[in-house]
Amino acid sequence: MSSYVTVFSLPKVDAAANAALVTAGAVIEQFRPEAVTKALAEKTSGTIGILWADPVQLVARALQDGRDPRPVARAWAGNARAILALHRANRRRLVLVDARLLGAETPDALLEPLRLRLDLPRPVARTGLAPVPAQLTTVLAQMLLRQMRDVTAPLVELLSASITPCHDAGAILPFGETEGDGQNASADAQIALLLKQVSLHLDQCRRVDALEVERDILAARLAETERKLDDVLRSTSWRITRPMRRVKTRLLRGGASLEAE
């Protein structure tokens, strides 16, 4: 019987969350349903963890990167259904963990229960997860996922079955089934419009970023040119040749006066 604690991590889970569990004494493996089933059969006692990522953040990051968020949402939903199928058959031995639990804002009171549930030998330290996506793209991701029932249903069940910092599903899950085809069509139209607006907004942000980079480069070049000019003006050779430059200037002025006459 193995003494270590295995945690299966889903794709797109923040690397810092995996590292936090490794530091606490867990062994991280890539999530595959067959690998979890095998681990349950080989390790006849103790618990096994499954670490999953928030689909809202995944979809929001896809939007920020200019990628189609729907494949991301569908891939997440497929993994979520597989997790829940395993959990229903092994409720006492599988511990589902929301990766956001390992963020820097999580109260210490939530981390000790996680250590006890996973039988980790060392305390779980909070870590710095990747920044949460911008509010605009997060809201759009929520609206988009609201229309995808194959995502909302497993998300609600995952939240209720997992150790998570989000106890109130309503506060972080503004999803719900719309009533009637008319409302569905209206919501789809609004999402399409918002997708277009966000795309334009992100394009503008990228152009602004590019202009700011160009500005910084030009400012650096100007500063370097001014430094070189200052070095020349302060140099000994510049001071020594000052009388010659004055004579040359007078001669040029005199020549210009003669031409004018």
Q: What is the pTM of this model?
A: 0.65
Tell me how far apart the alpha carbons of residues 177 and 46 are, in angstroms, rounded to a whole number. 39
* Lowest-pLDDT range of 80-94, 166-180, 195-209: 166-180
Give the domain ranges of the chain: 5-177, 203-260
User: Facing residues of 28 across strands?
Assistant: 7
Give the pLDDT band (50/70/90) at residue 179.
very low
| 70 C-beta neighbours (distance < 10 Å), count | 13
Which two tokens mark 41?
Answer: 């059969």
| CATH code for the part of the protein at 5-177 | 3.40.50
Q: Are 188 and 147 in contact (CB under 8 A)?
A: yes
When pLDDT is averaged across residues 176-184 and rounded to a whole number, the result is: 45
Strand pairing category for 48-52 and 94-98: parallel
pLDDT tens, residue by residue, 121-160: 999 988 888 888 877 788 788 878 877 778 888 888 898 8
